[in-house]
Structure 1
Amino acid sequence: MFKEVLQRLNLHEKDPLQIHGYQSYGTHEHIYLLGRALEDEGVNLEKTGFVNAFKNAYRQFRSDELSHAKIKVKLPDNRVLYTITDEEGYFKIDEKLANLKDLTNEEGWLQLELAYDDENQKRLVTNDNKFAAQMLIPSDKAEYGVISDIDDTMLKTGVTSLLKWRVILNTLFKGVGKRTPFTGAADFYKKLHLGKSGSASNPMFYVSNSPWNLYHYLEAFIKNNSFPKGAILLRDFRTPFDRTPKPEKPHKQHEIRNILKTYPDLQFVLIGDSGEHDADIYIEIAEEYPERIKAIYLRSVTHEKRAFRVRGLLEKFEVTPALLVKDSTAAEDHAREQGLII
């Protein structure tokens, strides 16, 4: 707030502008792209040390968004789309568009170019007013899709700690290079991505309750630890003063249903943990789409009461194979028995 006052008085230089294009997903005739227009706060995830980690976390959460900014989206074949950001700087392209599959790479990624379309904003941008975005269109070789949670499923987070204090400490004081994946998780995900054939390019979807402010942090974690590239689906960060209507369904349920509806001919593997509500959500989804879910894997967190409750849920559940596992090895062995991987 103080910086904004100084900027209006011309006593502080305005921050350059940027556009965050999030890794999203679509079909060969439907483009679905999410992103956000923001001021560049100088976040540098490559800097190490807890002081830099804290600075990065602070800058990610004190984002200055650009509301009602006009954004131009350019496709590889030079087709152009336009959209306007909302009050919090978010934008969405959700419309039918033919022949998108012809523009993707071998893994199914469509490369897009974002830019501001307002002359006043163009003068303040970095990167020559060119920002990258990507959208995943599943390959014809895909055998099934994988939908995974991130926190305490791939990334050691501490969501079961009292008042989630470990989550807070890890986010504020640990740089992305210091964050630890679970042993064997990346290798297991790679095998799922390659499928039974060993060359399937099965689409990966990472769904988390983390806010969009941590998008680049989680994107870097996935890349740095050699997890397969995939669509990353986070949620808006709500404050106690947020007056916007709450979603009818929890974020994960909403996103998973959207994915299943987008790809009606594709089956899925669901991966989560026993720490929060993944078991309840996945069971509900599998009962709603009994022919669509090939397997459910839930990593057992170090919280015996929650693990005990999840074991009770799974004992009564017979719709699809569902396992509570201690490590990736147990999940991998089962996936191989089920013919999901080689």
Structure 2
Amino acid sequence: MFFMFKKKALRINTYLGYGTNSIFRATGRALEDENIDFSTNQSIFKTLRNIYRQLESDEIRNIEIVLKLPNGQVIETRTDLEGYYDLELDIPMLSKYIDENGWITYSVSYKKESARKEISNENIFKSQMLVPSDQAEFAIISDIDDTIIHTGVASLFKWRVIANTLFKNFDKRTAVEGTVKFCKKLHLGTKGLPVNPFFYVSNSPWNLYDYLSAFFNKHHFPKGPILLRDFRTPFDKTPKPKVPHKQSEIANLLTMYPHLKFILIGDSGEKDADIYTKIAEQYPSRILAIYLRNVKHRRKEKRIKKIIDSFTISPILLVHSYDEAIKHAQESGFIN
């Protein structure tokens, strides 16, 4: 007996990016459409199914895609062996197309001449690129796990990370108390305008991008690029990056925006203190402050305090609540 399986439709997962008035950057991934349901109040079974479908995603390799910019320019590229595309091009006069919130909207499509028949008739996938405002006082880079969202990276064998990720839909996850308030105040700065750009970095895989985006939208965090990393399997033979993912992403941002100073937000659960202090040493005049949320792990707290005690390049605080961070930011003149 033969069973006929209907091939899945294709989609392009476009990721919010960042660039300048003359540098266009775009990142995304070509995938089979798993029909992941991000509705609220889901059962544990549906949540498990969603997470499995995200982590098991089937990439579309070496396929031609087309990007169309608001100026009418068309750019063609190909996905790599894992379905990703990653572009950085010099394109003048992009400032004409920035909306009032600092975003440039563009579209991504499969090139019909080379694509499979499973592409839907709606072969247009929207994306956006952030261009920081000239009025920005500073930029903010924040970690995600246990800095913004309760995850449990400091738990034994990281069992809480597994439980929270696999068994909780995004609408059941809780934001760390006070973090939305602190982020919104930094976004507004002292001008009272939402012009200070936000960037989120995490060691989570790109497969969880939609999940995290849904969480951010639900809790009304400032909109910003979410910079994740490729999901490595035990069979991945590609060489590991020499520089940690977060450190690399932060360095890229500081290089892209040499006129901006930055505030870094993280926690004491993993290596944020190590990475952030290295960045401050590498860019000694660019980091206004480092805020680390205390995850209440005695051994890790002791280690972090040693780092803080010997660090003098920029202010670094280990806070038990974001009210402490807000107070310091107000006293430092970062926010009202």
TM-score (norm: length of structure 2): 0.97
The yes-or-no answer on 1:273 pairing with 2:271 is: no
Match in the other structure for 1:91:
85
Aligned counterparts of 1:200 and 1:113: Cα–Cα separation in 2: 25
Aligned counterparts of 1:103 and 1:163: Cα–Cα separation in 2: 48
C-alpha distance after superposition, 1:105-163 (max 9, x if no partner): 11211111010003353632236101011111101111100000000000000001111
Q: Is the 8 A contact 2:64 2:114 kept in 1?
A: no
Aligned counterparts of 2:255 and 2:121: Cα–Cα separation in 1: 36
Q: Is the 8 A contact 1:143 1:200 kept in 2?
A: no
Write out the 4+ residue segments of structure 1 that deviate beyond 3 Å after TM superposition. none
Change in Cα spacing, 1:51 to 1:81, as seen in structure 2 (3 Å) is: same
C-alpha distance after superposition, 1:78-110 (max 9, x if no partner): 111111000010001111111112111112111
Aligned counterparts of 1:233 and 1:13: Cα–Cα separation in 2: 34
C-alpha distance after superposition, 1:21-69 (max 9, x if no partner): 1011111101111100000011111151211110100000110110011
Give the AA of the match of 1:184: G
Match in the other structure for 2:30:
37
Match in the other structure for 1:181:
175
The yes-or-no answer on 1:323 pairing with 2:317 is: yes
Match in the other structure for 1:75:
69
SS of residue in 2 equivalent to 1:82? strand
Aligned counterparts of 1:295 and 1:304: Cα–Cα separation in 2: 24
Change in Cα spacing, 1:297 to 1:234, as seen in structure 2 (3 Å) is: same
SS of residue in 2 equivalent to 1:129? coil
Q: Is the 8 A contact 2:14 2:27 kept in 1?
A: yes
Identity of aligned residues (%): 50
Q: Is the 8 A contact 1:271 1:297 kept in 2?
A: yes
Give the AA of the match of 1:238: R
Match in the other structure for 1:298:
292
TM-score (norm: length of structure 1): 0.96
1:106 pairs with 76, 100, 103, which one? 100
Q: Is the 8 A contact 1:235 1:251 kept in 2?
A: yes
Match in the other structure for 1:17:
10
The structural deviation recorded for 1:316 is 1.1
User: Which structure 2 residues correspond to residues 181-220 of structure 1 after superposition, within 5 A?
Assistant: 181-220=175-214
Aligned counterparts of 1:150 and 1:126: Cα–Cα separation in 2: 34
RMSD over aligned CA atoms reads 1.4
C-alpha distance after superposition, 1:256-308 (max 9, x if no partner): 00000000010000000000000000001001111000000000002111011
Of stretches 97-106 and 174-183 in structure 1, the one that deviates more from structure 2 is 97-106
Aligned length: 335
Change in Cα spacing, 1:127 to 1:139, as seen in structure 2 (3 Å) is: farther
